[in-house]
Every structure is written in C-alpha cells, then in structure tokens.
Amino acid sequence: MEASNLFLIAALLVAVACGNSQPPTQDRSTKVRQRIADSFLLSFALRFASSFLQSLTASYSSDTVHRLAILGMLWHVLTCDYSYANGCVKTGLINGSRPIFGGGTFSLNAALFSTTLLVSRIYDNQTVFLFISLSVVVFAFYSTTRHEMAKTHPAHSSVAPWLITVFIIMATLCLILDDLSLATTFLLCSLILGGVCPFWKHSLQHFQVLIKGPWDVAQIVPLV
Amino acid sequence: MPRIAMVCDFFYPRIGGVENHIYSLSLNLIRLGHKVIIITHAYGNRKGVRYLPGPLKVYYCPILPMTDQDAMPTFIATFPLLRHIFIRERIDIVHAHQATSTMANESIVYAAALRIASVYTDHSLFGFDDLASTILNRVLQTTLSTVDAAIGVSHVCHDNLILRARLDPNRVFVIPNAVDPSKFSPDPSQRRRDRLVYRKGIDLLVGIIPKVCSELKHVHFLVGGDGPKLLDLQEMVERDRLQDRVEFLGSVPHANVRNVLVRGDIFLNCSLTESFCIAILEAACCGLLVVSTNVGGVPEVLPDDMIMLSDPTVESMVTCVREAVQADRTDAVAHIQHQRIRDVYTWERVAEETILVYKKVLCQHRRGFLERMSCYQSLNGITGFVVCCLALIVEIWVRIVEWWQPIHQIDRVPDLSTRVQSNGVQHLN
C-alpha cells in the first residue's frame, strides 16, 4: 500500500510540475488564494457528501456492488474521450463554447457511479472522504490536466506523460501483486494497449481508403 | 408503358427534398401515361392505401419505423408484403430512393429475387473515412450489386455513388432535380432593400451576420427555420445587439417558403455539404441572387450570373455578400431569371430522362440465382461469403412465400379510369 501511495504521489508531482511549467496567466498570490479557496470548498462539500454517500448503497449485496462497480468502470474506460486527453480540441464552434466536461460526461458519471457503490463497503468516514476525494481528483480533474499536459508536453517529445503512465501502472500493480494472475493480466493489457495497439494501428493505415472530393463536409476554421 | 413502384421510407406527411422529389417525379410520370405507386411505411395512424392527387396510390405499409422515420431492418420480414404489392399492381420496375432508407435497400434485393427491374436514385453525399459512412457504403455496395441502373442528382453525387458502391459507371446516370416554377414566382414588390435569407451552416452564419451588419448598415437578415443551433444565432443577436437587423421567422411551412423568399434580395446558403441544394434553385426561381458556399453539387446548379460562390469561411462569405449587395440588379432581372429556370429545371424533363433510364433497364437481361450469387461474391472477403449466405436464405424464403402465397391467388388490381381536366389534373371517374 505504501509503495502504491508513493507511485501515485510521484505521478501527481509530475502532473503538477508540468502544469506549472506554463507561463503564468495570473498573479501568483491570487492563484494560490484561489486554489486554496477552491480546495477548501471542495473538501467541505465532499466531507459533507461522504457521510450520506456511504449509506446510499449500503443495502445492496456485496456481489451486486462489485459487479456494478466493474461494469461502471468498464463503461468509463469505453466512453472516455481519449482524443481530448491527448490534446485534441473540439472543433465546430466559432464564437465561444458552453462549458462541457472534456473527458466525456458518460465516462465521468460512470466512474462516480462506481465510486458511490464502492464507498458503501468502507466503514470509516475518513477513509470514505479520502476515497471520494481521490476519485474526484483522478476522474474529474485528471482528464483536463492530461489535456493541458498533452499540449505543453506532447508524448513524442517529452518524457512526462510516459512517467505518469508508468507510475500509475506501478501503483496499480503494487495493489494487486498478491493476485499473480490478475497482476499478469493487467500488465499484459497495459502492454498491448500502450505498445502493441499503436504499432498495429500504424501498420493498418496503408489499408485505409482515403478518397477526398467535393462530397466531403467543409471544415469550419474557428475564429480566433 | 412500364408500371413503376417508388419505394422509400421517406414520404409525406414527412416533408423534405426526397419526399418532394418522389412526389413530383411520380406525378409527372403519371401525366406521361405511366402507372406509378408509392410504397412507404405507416406514419402514425396513416396506414393502408391512400390516394394523392394524380391520382397517385400510396401504400402506407404497417412496418415499424425505428429511428428518424427509418424502418427497422428485418432483412426478410417485409418480403411477403412487398411481393404481394408488386404482384397485385403488376409492377415492372422498382425505383428505390435514398441510401439511408431501409425499405429502399430491401426492395432492391427483393426485386432482384423476383426478377423485377430495379433502379436506385441517390440524393445525398457521404464520406469514406468515418465509421457510419464506411458501414453505409458497405451496405449500399451489397444491395446495389444487383441493381440495374442508378441515378445521381448531380455529377458530384454520380461520382460519389460510383466510388462508394463500386458501380459500373455505364449503369449510373445524372438527372438533376427540378423545381415547380408555378409555386416559386418572383414578386419584387415585396422586397425591402437588402434582405438576406439563410439556410443551414449555422456556425458560419454566427460569424457572418455580425461582420456584415457592422460593414453594411442597410442590410437586414431574415432567418427562417428551427433547430438546436437556433440558440447560437439568438445568443449572437443578443450579444451584438442586432435585434433590429435580424428577424427570426421560426419554422416555415413549405407552402409559405415562397412568401418568405420574395421578401429578400439575396439568398444566403452556408451549407457545409449539399448533393444538389434545391433551396438555392427555389430562391433563384423567386428572383433572388444566391450567395453560397462552394460545396458538393452546388456549383452545378446555377449559372454564374445567378449565384456567387465562396469558400466555406467567414471572411470569404462576407466578401461575397458585400459584392452581392453592391451588384446592381433590377426587378426585371428577377423575372428573366425565373423564366430561365422555368425553361430548364422542369419536372417534365426529369420524368422524360427517367423514362429513358427505365427503357434501358427493361431491355436488360434479368439475373438468375447463380448470376446474383456471383454479383454478391464479387464483394470479396468475408463480406462476400456472408452476403452469399444471406442471399441463399432470401432465396429459400422466396420459395417458402411462393408456396405459402401462390401467385395465382393474388388478385391483380384493375387500373382506375381517369379523366383529365383542362388544367392537366387527372381525376378518378
């Protein structure tokens, strides 16, 4: 558990370091005040929410909770907007945009649904609060952080995104090392998704039919 | 005279370009002496057989629409009903419309199985690299492998159809759409100077309107239509305080479109893709100068003195609008423009050209089972094998239905005698 925590903290430090490498858009003291106020508000809200979220699904049977949580996380993985996480900006809007969750609304809802289910199996209020806070940081804030990082530290020219990915994988492995089959499966899936699939996709590109013509929908260039 | 069945999911009471095309073409084919029926699915309580002026018989079949008025693909379940209709109406040609219509695709397969000639008309453009287009193109390639002829409404549509469905170019024809000039006549007296009417391409329009309004103080916008993007336009008007320069008309019934168009001098089309764009034809028929994005089949529709084409960017469109506003056009030009379109874009011409296609397909040899299997096998790979298996299932089902509902037990519908009034409208006796 301690090793897992260390890896997570390392990943967080890398993300924060990448975030702070951008030129500051506002005064440092104002920024610090804003961040502290935001974190206090969020902590207060989550601390308040954790007490009733813990009892929300307490009456469900454990295997129902586990199955639903797994399904929720699978749905989160499937519906996550990976193009946003890799720095792509949504096009099609010229003037302004309504605030949307870039990482995918379904994805976030599914992750928080799984979180709500799992906290019913934790008996200590403090642990529930920490678990929910971690979930909010990982699923709500991380996608935007990753998006910003992909723009300032792209994977092809920076080691930071790779470091974060490795730290997160190591943190997960530390938690599941007791179950050798699960750990092996997880490691294999990570290697296939992170290593084999990109090369496979690259090799399939020359089969792609690219016929451009006047039938293509015109792309609007957003106004600056 | 060949007897034609127009098959499509999209027909009245749903309003749209495809629906208008099917109705207008059918009416004019009837006027030229052909027997035409329309087969579509039921719309709400509208089930059974209805007669439209012509008289045009419409079969509203009890088939379940799944999404956006498109029938659920059942593959073989609709075959007994459609076969029954084809036999009782003694249909010689099945004319299917629109790639996204399930009934159209299925009817082409059924027509091939029943050895009835088939023609397909495509009304839209599709790409090649997104998932939906890839799947649709594959389906189209499958169903059109046994079609006798295909028609595109523009040369761009023709090229797009050939590439998507991998058709023999000798079997694909171009028959542009038309407009009913009697319903779209100019009325310069309705104009207040420099009004623009728009359609589609809202994201462009949100950028164009403020720039045009700031540069040209005497220009006003008339915005007709409704949809989710209307909010973007309304927000733009609020933000830039253009309430006295932009008038929102809301959803405009098709019968009132002409009355809206004649209030304007310039028609602004910001579409990002169009196969033919009948809206600009209607606007030009009403005497308006058209400013449009240079996309799809739009450049083919109107001559240079009736349309100003622009790149689909805000700056180019604003430049084009500025030039259009400065163009000196008299009221007489509107009437001359209307007359020119009236002479060229007529539904009679479309019907005559379609009849030529019908004559061509009727002379062709009807494919047997093995020939059809070789057509499906030419799809190659796993698709070819799967489609051949499906074709085998269809063939077995055809035999079962022929045993279950023998052809001699199906009554043939007599043709109703009609009389033609002096205005050319036919009535039942």
Those residues whose C-beta lies under 8 Å from the C-beta of residue A5, and which sit 6 or more positions away, are A171
Q: Cα separations (Å) of B215 from A223, B208, B210, B322, B325?
A: 18, 11, 9, 9, 11
Band of residue A22 on the pLDDT scale cut at 50, 70, 90: low
**B274, B301, B314, B318, best to mutate vs chain A, most A CBs in 10 Å:** B314
- For residue A100, what are its two tokens? 């949307």
Residue A35's pLDDT is: 83
Sequence spans of domains, chain B: 3-178+349-409, 181-345
Per-residue DSSP letter, A195? I
Are A220 and B127 a contacting pair at CB < 8 A? no
d(CA A58, CA A48): 17
* Same fold across B3-178+349-409 and B181-345: yes
Output b/e per residue, A124-145; b: 16+ Cβ within 10 A. Answer: eeeebbebbbebbebbeebbeb
Contacts of B204 (CB under 8 A, 6+ apart): A94, A220, B270, B272, B293, B312, B313, B314, B317
Compare all CA atoms of chain A with the CA of B270 and give the residue at the minimum distance. Answer: A218
Q: Is B295 on the interface with A (CB under 8 A)?
A: yes
For chain A, the domains span 3-157
Closest alpha carbon to A122 in A207, A55, A24, A201? A55
Which region, left, alpha or beta, applies to residue A87 given φ > 0 means left and ψ of -120 to 50 means alpha? left
Confidence category of residue B67, pLDDT binned at 50, 70, 90: confident
Q: Work out the average pLDDT over A108-127.
A: 90
Average pLDDT over residues A98-126: 84
- A25 band by pLDDT with thresholds 50, 70 and 90: low
**Phi, psi at residue A24, to the nearest 5°?**
-65, 135
pLDDT band with cut points at 50, 70 and 90 for residue A92: very low
Weakest-pLDDT range from A91-100, B205-214, B318-327? A91-100
In the numeric block, which tokens belong to residue A218?
Answer: 């015109």
The CA distance from A102 to A79, in Å, is 12
User: Does the pLDDT of residue B40 top 90, yes or no?
Assistant: yes
Write down the pTM of the prediction.
0.73
In the CATH scheme, what architecture does the domain B181-345 have? 3-Layer(aba) Sandwich (3.40)
Q: Where are the beta strands (DSSP E) in B253-375?
A: 266-269, 289-293, 307-310
Kindly report each contact of residues B300-306 with a partner whose C-beta sits within 8 Å and lies 24 or more positions away, as own/partner: B300/B154, B300/B155, B300/B156, B300/B176, B300/B276, B301/B154, B301/B176, B301/B276, B301/B277, B306/B337, B306/B340
Q: Are B351 and B248 within 8 A, CB to CB?
A: no
Of A14-23, A66-75, B260-269, B279-288, give the lowest mean pLDDT range. Answer: A14-23
Binary contact (A215, B313; C-beta < 8 A): no
Q: What is the pLDDT of residue A95?
A: 46
Please list every residue in chain B whose beta carbon sits closer than 8 Å to the beta carbon of residue A93: 203
Distance from CA of B152 to the nearest CA of A (A): 13
| Other beta carbons less than 10 A from residue B164's beta carbon | 24
Locus of tokens 């289910």: A117
Confidence of residue A93 (pLDDT cuts 50, 70, 90): very low
Q: What is the mean pLDDT of chain A?
A: 81
CA-based nearest residue in chain A for residue B311: A218
Q: Is the CB of residue B207 less than 8 Å away from at least one CB of chain A? A: yes
B339: pLDDT strictly greater than 50: yes
Q: How far apart are CA B145 and CA B31, in angstroms?
A: 32
B75 touches chain A (CB under 8 A): no
Beta strands in A72-224 (DSSP E): none
pLDDT at A94: 44
Q: Is A204 on the interface with B (CB under 8 A)?
A: no
Residue A221: closest C-alpha in chain B? B313
Indicate if the pLDDT at residue B103 is higher than 90.
Answer: yes
From the CA of A83, how many Å to the nearest CA of chain B?
A: 15
d(CA A106, CA A112): 10
| C-alpha torsion sign, points A109, A111, A113, A119 | negative
8 A C-beta contact, residue B230 and residue B248: yes
Please report residues of B whose CB lies closer than 8 A to that of A223.
Answer: 207, 314
Q: Considering just the CA atoms, what is the radius of gyration of chain B in Å?
A: 23
Look at residue B320 and tell me whether its pLDDT is greater than 70. yes
Whether the per-residue pLDDT at B354 is higher than 90: the answer is yes
Q: Which residue of B122, B128, B298, B314 is the best one to mutate when testing the A interface, meaning the one whose CB has the most A CBs within 10 A?
A: B128
Q: What is the mean pLDDT of chain B?
A: 88
pLDDT digits (tens, 9 = 90+) for B108-124: 999 999 999 999 999 99
Q: Identify the residue among B211, B233, B242, B272 best suited for mutation to test binding to A, counting A beta carbons within 10 A and taking the highest.
A: B272
- Check CB contact under 8 Å for B204 and A220: yes
CA distance to B57, B375, B428, per residue, from B36 (Å):
7, 29, 15
Pairing mode, if any, of strands B418-420 and B426-428?
antiparallel
Asked if the Cβ–Cβ distance from B312 to A220 is below 8 Å, we say yes
Is the complex ipTM more than 0.85?
no
* Residue B351: pLDDT over 90: yes
Which residue of chain B comes nearest to A220, CA vs CA? B313
Indicate the pLDDT class of residue A18, thresholds 50, 70 and 90.
low
Topology of the domain covering B3-178+349-409: Rossmann fold (3.40.50)
CB count within 10 Å of CB A147 equals 19
Cα–Cα distances (Å) from B78 to B8, B376, B413, in that order, read 13, 21, 20
pLDDT in tens, B202-243: 888 888 999 999 998 888 898 887 777 888 888 999 999 999
Would you call A208 an interface residue with chain B, using a CB distance cutoff of 8 Å? yes
Give the type of residue at A66: H
Q: Is A218 in Cβ contact with B312 (below 8 Å)? A: yes
Mean pLDDT for B158-174 is 94
Distance from CA of B375 to the nearest CA of A (A): 22
The amino acid sitting at B387 is V
Res. B414 pLDDT band, cuts 50 70 90: confident
pLDDT at site B39: 96
Q: What is the largest CA-CA distance in chain A?
A: 63
Side-chain-side CA neighbours of B233 within 13 Å: the count stands at: 27
* For residue A175, pLDDT beyond 80: yes
The model's pLDDT over A132-164, given as tens digits with 9 standing for 90+, comes to: 888 888 888 888 888 888 888 777 777 888 888
* Number of Cβ atoms within 10 Å of the Cβ of B80: 16
Q: Looking at beta carbons, which pairs linking B242-250 to residues 24 or more positions away fall under 8 Å? A: B242/B209, B242/B210, B242/B213, B245/B209, B245/B213, B245/B219, B245/B220, B245/B221, B246/B209, B246/B213, B246/B220, B246/B221, B247/B220, B247/B221, B247/B222, B247/B223, B248/B223, B249/B222, B249/B223, B249/B224, B249/B225, B250/B224, B250/B225, B250/B226
Q: With bands split at pLDDT 50, 70 and 90, how would you rate the model's confidence at B382?
A: confident
- Given a contact cutoff of 8 angstroms between Cβ atoms, the answer to whether B271 and B283 are in contact is no
> Which are the contacts of A112, defined by CB distance < 8 A and separation ≥ 6?
A135, A136, A139, A140
Burial code (b: 16+ CB inside 10 Å, e: under 16) for A9-30 equals ebbbebbeebeeeeeeeeeeee
What is the interface size between A and B, counted as CB pairs within 8 Å?
55
**Residue among A121, A218, A163 nearest A16 (CA):** A163
Only one residue has tokens 């542009």, namely B176
For residue A199, what pLDDT is reported? 87
CB A43 within 8 A of CB A103: no
Dist CA B109 CA B147 (whole Å):
8
Cβ pair B128:A217 closer than 8 A: no
- Predicted pLDDT at B119: 96
